[in-house]
Amino acid sequence: MFKILIVEDDPKISEIISENIKKWGFDGLRIEDFSDIFNTFVKYNPHLVLMDINLPYFDGFYWCNKIREVSKIPIIFVSSRDTNMDIIMAMNMGGDDFIQKPFSLDVLMAKVNAVLRRTYSYSNVESNIIEHNGAILNLKDNNLIYNEQNMELTKNEFKIIYILMKNSGNVVSRDKIMRSLWEDESFVDDNTLTVNVNRLRKKLSDVGLDDFIKTKKGQGYIII
């Protein structure tokens, strides 16, 4: 089921859109905390965003830009602003379409369906991000973001954190991690893995993620 995030501060309009989305068999989530749209986006992990421009705290252009830092998912702007400059800005900020208010629900859903078909018919619906306890792993550029801080990872560090976050809550053996590091045919021994994990832990600690990776003696590593 496709998930659609509704970023609209008019509760009546938001509710009407949400009800219509559900009638079409989609899952919809309405934003309630407009000061923290980005974290809601990350946790909900939608396939499409309907984005108003005039919003409390920051406008839709700002949030579109934040989303584009970690994801290429389609964003449709829905706004009463209708100047050519607004439409151009929406497209330049990474929007995929623009719908002017007041709008027809039939037109809205036709555009939603068209964008979903265009985006996902020939591609995997897998997300570009993995999130755990506020830490966001960006699969697009192998970076990790926490508390607005961007951490650059080496290739091995990325593979280690990726396999641990993908299996959060479960112990991942050292052998399994080393096998994932051998995929590029470069040999990684046990001591090299320890060095990489220690460097990764230091980077995580520097941005406030202390004890993010825990050691299970004789078993491997785990992110809880």
Quick: pLDDT tens for 72-97: 899 999 988 877 888 888 888 889 99
The total of structural domains in the chain comes to 2
User: In which domain, by residue range, is 71 found?
Assistant: 3-120
Mean of pLDDT values over 205-222: 92
Instruction: Give the pLDDT of residue 143.
Output: 84
> Long-range contacts made by residues 205-214, C-beta under 8 angstroms, separation at least 24?
206/151, 207/144, 207/146, 207/147, 207/149, 207/151, 208/146, 208/147, 208/149, 209/135, 209/146, 212/133, 212/135, 213/161, 213/164
- What's the pLDDT band for 125 if we cut at 50, 70, 90? very low
- At 124, is the pLDDT very low, low, confident or very high (cuts 50, 70, 90)? very low
The verdict on 158 and 187 lying in the same domain is yes
Report the CATH number at residue 104. Answer: 3.40.50.2300
134 and 111 both lie in a single domain: no
| Averaged pLDDT, 161-187 | 84
Q: What percent of the chain has pLDDT over 70?
A: 94
Strands (E), 31-184: 48-51, 75-79, 97-100, 129-132, 135-138, 143-146, 149-152, 172-173
Q: What pLDDT shows up at residue 84?
A: 82
Who has greater pLDDT, 165 or 150? 165
pLDDT at position 184: 57
Same domain as 116, residue 23: yes
- pLDDT tens string 42-70: 989 999 999 999 999 999 999 999 999 88
pLDDT of 215 higher than 90:
yes
Tell me, what CATH number does 212's domain have? 1.10.10.10
- Is residue 76 located within the same domain as residue 171? no
Q: Give yes or no: residues 100 and 137 share one domain.
A: no
Mean pLDDT calculated for residue range 176-204:
82
pTM of the model: 0.66
